C-alpha cells in the first residue's frame, strides 16, 4: 500500500507546526482567566522562618498569595512517589513529603515557596518579587558523595545520612569472588554528568474549576494526560480521579521531564477552586533551569574481569546517584530498576552485580531524561570494554565481537535477570564498521593539520548499546468511522514531537484500506473513549499504542464483516477484505467499509492491549573525530549508526528520531553540564549563556541504517526507537576522543569533553 506501514510517509502534523497554527497550552485562553507566578527559594538550603506576603497581597491587581500554611489548612497533600523500593539491608526507603510549597525548610534552589495570582502576568510577577522570605542559610551539599559523607548537612530528618535508598542487584560477594579468580581485572571510575532537559516549550499549566459539578480541568503540556491525572490528583486533593479532566494539546518536547507531575500543576487547580476563575501559569526559561527535573548525575566505579583469552568473567559496579532536594515520581527508577539490569550490555558476562546508593542533595529533583538509566549503563560498559581492549592490546572491535551474545543463544537471560528475545549483535557491529570504513581509519589518522599547523589528533570509537523499551503495561485505543466517512483514532500516548499522528494514520490506513486524508488522530484528553492509557515513556508508544490500535482496527473489521455478510447475503466466512472493501471471491459483489459505516450509522472498535515483556533495540555507533591540540576543539568527522529496531513502521520518522537522539547524546558528551557552587548550591549554569547545547554546526552528517531482527514479544514485531540515539552516542564519542588523545598518554576523561577540559588534559600530558 502506498501509504502503509514501512513506507516513508511524510509527517501529517508538520503543516500546522511550520505555519504557526499548532495549539500549545500557552495558545489556549479562557474567559475570566488570571495569571500565576511562583515565589522560588533564592538559596539551596536553609531554615524557612517566615514568608511575609502582606506587601504582595496589598498590591493592585493581586487576587491571592498562597503559602504552605494555606494548603495545609485546606487539606492539600504532597506529590506522589511512584517508584518505592526496599533498602538492600531491609526496610522500605524513607518517603519525605514532596510538598507543593516549602514549609519550614528550603532544600534546593528554586523550590516553590509561595504562589501568587493576579489579573495580569506582570502584576503576578511583581507581587512575587514583593514576597519577603526570612531564611537562615545552611551549608549545601550538591554531590552524592559529599551528601553521604559523615557529618554532612542533613536535608530530611526521615533520611539519616541523606540516604534516599541503598539498593543492590545481583550477588556482590559472588561478583567479588569471580573477579578474584579472573586472569585480569580492569577498573574504571567515571561520571555521568547532570543534564538540564531544556525542552523547546517550557512547562505550563492552566487550572479550571466547575463549582456546580465540583470538578476540575487541567490543561498542561505533558507526556500523557492520564498519567498526570492518575499520579497526582487523588493523593494531592483527596478526590477520585474522575473529578479531574486533563487535556494535553500540542507539546514542544518532553524527553522524560514532562512525564511526572509538578507542584505548579496542582497549584493552578487549587487556586482555580479558591477563586472560581481559570488560573494559568507559564514557566520562564530561567525557572526551567531551576525547577524542571534534571537527568543523569551519578558517579560509578566498575571492575571487569577477563580470562586469559579475553572473555569476560564478571562485572561489579558501585554507583552513587543523586535524588536532588525532593523525591520526584520516578526519581529512584533510573539508577536502579532501569540502568543496572542493562549493565552487561550485549556481552555474555556470567556474573554481574551492582550496588547503588541514592543521596538527597541540594539541587533540582532528578528524574527520567531520554533513556532514563539505560544511557548510564551503556556508557559504563562501553567505556570499560574500550579500556580493557587497550590494556590487553586488542582491537576494540575484536574484544567486543569475542564477548557478544551470539544469535543462536537467543532467547538469552542475563545474570541481571533480563531476557533478550532477539538480536544479532556481531552482524550489526560488522555492518556499522564496514559502513564507517573502520579498516581504512589508520590511513586517515595521520591526515590534516590544525589552524596553527600542528597535526590534528584523530580518533575513532565504538559505542554499542542495548536497551529495554516498551516495558510491561496496558494501553488503549479506539477507532471510530462516522456515517459520513470521517475516521477518528483515539490513543492514550502523547506525541511531544515524535510524529505519532503520522504513524497511527499509516497503521489505520493500511489496516482498513482507507485514504489517510480521512483519518484524524486525537490524543491528550482523559475524556477520550479508551479503556486505559499509559502515556509516552520508555519508547513504548508504538509497541503499546500500536498494539492497542491493531486490536481496535481488528474489532472494527469484525463488526463490519458481520454487517457485510448481512448486506451481501452470504456466510461471513466466505468474505475477503482487501483495499477497503469486503468481497465475495469469484464474483463482482462487494461493499466498501465506508459504505457499510454509512448504512449502519457508524462503526467503532476498541483495543485494550497488554504488553507482557520488553523489547530490546540495539545498535552500533561509530564516531570519528579530529582534535585540535592547540585549542581542544573537537570536530566530528564521520558518524555511523546501524540499529536493530525489529520491524520499521516509517523509515523517515525513524531516521528523525535517531538524528535527534544522537544530537542529544553528543550534547551531553561534548557540552552539557549543570554546575552548582559546591558550598552555596547556587547554580552557575542557569542560562544558555553558561549552559551549552549542541548547534547544527557542531554535528556532522549522520549515516543511519538498520539491520533488523523481528521482535518476538509484541504482535507488530517492533522495538522502541525513541531513546536509542541518546544511548549509543556518548560512549562512541568519548571513546573516539580518548582514542585520539591516547598517543599523549590520556586514557581517561569525564564528560563533557569541552574544549577547555580537553586542552587542559593535553597541557597536563605535556608536563
What is the rounded CA–CA span in Å between residue 483 and residue 154? 65
Q: How far is the first Cα of the chain from the last one, in angstroms, to the nearest whole number?
A: 65
Confidence (pLDDT) at 449: 61
Average pLDDT per run of 10 along the chain, which is 767 residues long? Answer: 76 93 97 99 99 98 99 97 96 96 98 99 98 98 98 97 98 98 98 97 98 97 95 93 97 96 98 98 98 98 98 99 97 97 98 99 97 97 98 98 98 97 97 97 81 81 97 94 97 94 96 96 96 92 95 97 94 94 94 96 97 95 96 96 95 95 98 97 97 95 93 93 96 98 96 98 94
Cell of 46: 536553609
Confidence (pLDDT) at 450: 56
Q: Residue 3 in contact with residue 509, Cβ under 8 Å?
A: yes
What is the rounded CA–CA span in Å between residue 248 and residue 608? 21
Confidence (pLDDT) at 467: 97
Confidence (pLDDT) at 427: 98
Confidence (pLDDT) at 428: 98
Nearest in space to 674 (alpha carbons), one of 697, 688, 691: 691
The burial class, CB within 10 Å (0-12 / 13-18 / 19+), for 552 is buried
Confidence (pLDDT) at 8: 86
Nearest in space to 540 (alpha carbons), one of 292, 259, 245, 329: 259
Nearest in space to 81 (alpha carbons), one of 62, 71, 64, 94: 94
Q: Whose grid coordinates read 523499551?
A: 469
Cα-based distances in Å from 692 to 298, 586, 675: 20, 67, 12
Q: Give the max Cα distance, the chain.
A: 91
What is the rounded CA–CA span in Å between residue 347 and residue 401? 9
Residue-range domain boundaries for the chain: 25-138+200-253+257-291, 298-470+614-766, 473-611
Q: Three-class SS string for 394-437?
A: CCHHHHHHHHECCHHHCCEECCCCCEECCCCHHHHHHHHHHHCC
**Which 8-state DSSP code applies to residue 383?**
H
Cα-based distances in Å from 452 to 455, 566, 631, 753: 9, 83, 10, 21
Instruction: Please tell me the number of Cα atoms within 13 Å of 352 on its side-chain side.
Output: 22
Q: In CATH, which superfamily holds the domain spanning 25-138+200-253+257-291?
A: Aldehyde oxidase/xanthine dehydrogenase, a/b hammerhead (3.90.1170.50)
Q: Whose grid coordinates read 507543593?
A: 100
Q: What is the dihedral of CA 634, 636, 637, 641, to 10 degrees?
A: 150
Return the CATH class of domain 298-470+614-766.
Answer: alpha beta
Question: Looking at the DSSP assignment, which residues form a beta bridge with residue 46?
Answer: 106, 137
Nearest in space to 293 (alpha carbons), one of 197, 164, 357: 197
Nearest in space to 481 (alpha carbons), one of 533, 541, 559: 559
Cell of 564: 457485510
What is the rounded CA–CA span in Å between residue 449 and residue 543? 48
Domains 298-470+614-766 and 473-611 share a fold: yes
Confidence (pLDDT) at 447: 81
Fold category of 473-611 in CATH: Aldehyde Oxidoreductase; domain 4 (3.30.365)
Amino acid at each position: 500500500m502506498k501509504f502503509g506501514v514501512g513506507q516513508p510517509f511524510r509527517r501529517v502534523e508538520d503543516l500546522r507546526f511550520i505555519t504557526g497554527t499548532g495549539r500549545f497550552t500557552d495558545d489556549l485562553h479562557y474567559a475570566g482567566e488570571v495569571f500565576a507566578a511562583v515565589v522560588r527559594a533564592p538559596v539551596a538550603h536553609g531554615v524557612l522562618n517566615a514568608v511575609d506576603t502582606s506587601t504582595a497581597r496589598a498590591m493592585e491587581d493581586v487576587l491571592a498569595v498562597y503559602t504552605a500554611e494555606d494548603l495545609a489548612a485546606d487539606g492539600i497533600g504532597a506529590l506522589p512517589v511512584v517508584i518505592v523500593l526496599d533498602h538492600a539491608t531491609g526496610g522500605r526507603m524513607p518517603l519525605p513529603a514532596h510538598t507543593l510549597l516549602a514549609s519550614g525548610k528550603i532544600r534546593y534552589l528554586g523550590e516553590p515557596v509561595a504562589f501568587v495570582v493576579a489579573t495580569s502576568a506582570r502584576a503576578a510577577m511583581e507581587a512575587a518579587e514583593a514576597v519577603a522570605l526570612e531564611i537562615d542559610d545552611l551549608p549545601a551539599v550538591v554531590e552524592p558523595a559529599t551528601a553521604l559523607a559523615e557529618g554532612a548537612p542533613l536535608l530530611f530528618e526521615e533520611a539519616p545520612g541523606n540516604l534516599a535508598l541503598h539498593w543492590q542487584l545481583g550477588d556482590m560477594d559472588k561478583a567479588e569472588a569471580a573477579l578474584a579468580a579472573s586472569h585480569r581485572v580492569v577498573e574504571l571510575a567515571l561520571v555521568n554528568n547532570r543534564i538540564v532537559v531544556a525542552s523547546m516549550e517550557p512547562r505550563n499549566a492552566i487550572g479550571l474549576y466547575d463549582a456546580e459539578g465540583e470538578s476540575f480541568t487541567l490543561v498542561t503540556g505533558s507526556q500523557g494526560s492520564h498519567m498526570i491525572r492518575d499520579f497526582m490528583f487523588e493523593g494531592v486533593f483527596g478526590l477520585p480521579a474522575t473529578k479531574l479532566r486533563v487535556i494535553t494539546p500540542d507539546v514542544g518536547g518532553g524527553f522524560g521531564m514532562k512525564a511526572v507531575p509538578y507542584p505548579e500543576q496542582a497549584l493552578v487547580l487549587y487556586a482555580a477552586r479558591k477563586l472560581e476563575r481559570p488560573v494559568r501559569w507559564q514557566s520562564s526559561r530561567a525557572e526551567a533551569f531551576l525547577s524542571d527535573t534534571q537527568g543523569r548525575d551519578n558517579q560509578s566505579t566498575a571492575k571487569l574481569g577477563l580470562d586469559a583469552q579475553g572473555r569476560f568473567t564478571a562485572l561489579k559496579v558501585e554507583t552513587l546517584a543523586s535524588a536532588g532536594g525532593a523525591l520526584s515520581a520516578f526519581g529512584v527508577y533510573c539508577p536502579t530498576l532501569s540502568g543496572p539490569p542493562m549493565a552487561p550490555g550485549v556481552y555474555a558476562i556470567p556474573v554481574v552485580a551492582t550496588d547503588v546508593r541514592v543521596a538527597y542533595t541540594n539541587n533540582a529533583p532528578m528524574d527520567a531524561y531520554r533513556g532514563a538509566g539505560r544511557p548510564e549503563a551503556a556508557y559504563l560498559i562501553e567505556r570499560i570494554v574500550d579500556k580493557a581492549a587497550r590494556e590487553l592490546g586488542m582491537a576494540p572491535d575484536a574484544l567486543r565481537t569475542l564477548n557478544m551474545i551470539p544469535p543462536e543463544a537467543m532467547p538469552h537471560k542475563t545474570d541481571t535477570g533480563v531476557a533478550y528475545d532477539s538480536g544479532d549483535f556481531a552482524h550489526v557491529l560488522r555492518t556499522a564498521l564496514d559502513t564507517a570504513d573502520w579498516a581504512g581509519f589508520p590511513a586517515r589518522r595521520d591526515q590534516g593539520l590544525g589552524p596553527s599547523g600542528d597535526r590534528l589528533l584523530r580518533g575513532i570509537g565504538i559505542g554499542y548499546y542495548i536497551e529495554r523499551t516498551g516495558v510491561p503495561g496496558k494501553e488503549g485505543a479506539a477507532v471510530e468511522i462516522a456515517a459520513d466517512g470521517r475516521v477518528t483514532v483515539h490513543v492514550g500516548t502523547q506525541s511531544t514531537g515524535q510524529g505519532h499522528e503520522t504513524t497511527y494514520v499509516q497503521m489505520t490506513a493500511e489496516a482498513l484500506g482507507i485514504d489517510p486524508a480521512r483519518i484524524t488522530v486525537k490524543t491528550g484528553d482523559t475524556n477520550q473513549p479508551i479503556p486505559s492509557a499509559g502515556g509516552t515513556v520508555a519508547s513504548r508508544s508504538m509497541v503499546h499504542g500500536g498494539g492497542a490500535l491493531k486490536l481496535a482496527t481488528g474489532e472494527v473489521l469484525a463488526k463490519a464483516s458481520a454487517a457485510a455478510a448481512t448486506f451481501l447475503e452470504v456466510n461471513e466466512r466466505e468474505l475477503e477484505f482487501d483495499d477497503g472493501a469486503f468481497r465475495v471471491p469469484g464474483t463482482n459483489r462487494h461493499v466498501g467499509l465506508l459504505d457499510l459505516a454509512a448504512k449502519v450509522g457508524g462503526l467503532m472498535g476498541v483495543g485494550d492491549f497488554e504488553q507482557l515483556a520488553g523489547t530490546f533495540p540495539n545498535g552500533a555507533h561509530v564516531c570519528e573525530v579530529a582534535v585540535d591540540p592547540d585549542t581542544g576543539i573537537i570536530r566530528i568527522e564521520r558518524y555511523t549508526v546501524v540499529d536493530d529496531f525489529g520491524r520499521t513502521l516509517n523509515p523517515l520518522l525513524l531516521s528523525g528520531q535517531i538524528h535527534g537522539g544522537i544530537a542529544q547524546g553528543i550534547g551531553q558528551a561534548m557540552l552539557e553540564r549543570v554546575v552548582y557552587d559546591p558550598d552555596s548550591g547556587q547554580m552557575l549554569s542557569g542560562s544558555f549563556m553558561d549552559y551549552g547545547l549542541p548547534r547544527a554546526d557542531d554535528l556532522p552528517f549522520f549515516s543511519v541504517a538498520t539491520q533488523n531482527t523481528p521482535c518476538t514479544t509484541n504482535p507488530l514485531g517492533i522495538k522502541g526507537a525513541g531513546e536509542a540515539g541518546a544511548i549509543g552516542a556518548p560512549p562512541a564519542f568519548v571513546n573516539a576522543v580518548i582514542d585520539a588523545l591516547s598517543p599523549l598518554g590520556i586514557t581517561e576523561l569525564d564528560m563533557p569533553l569541552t574544549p577547555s577540559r580537553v586542552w587542559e588534559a593535553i597541557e597536563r600530558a605535556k608536563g
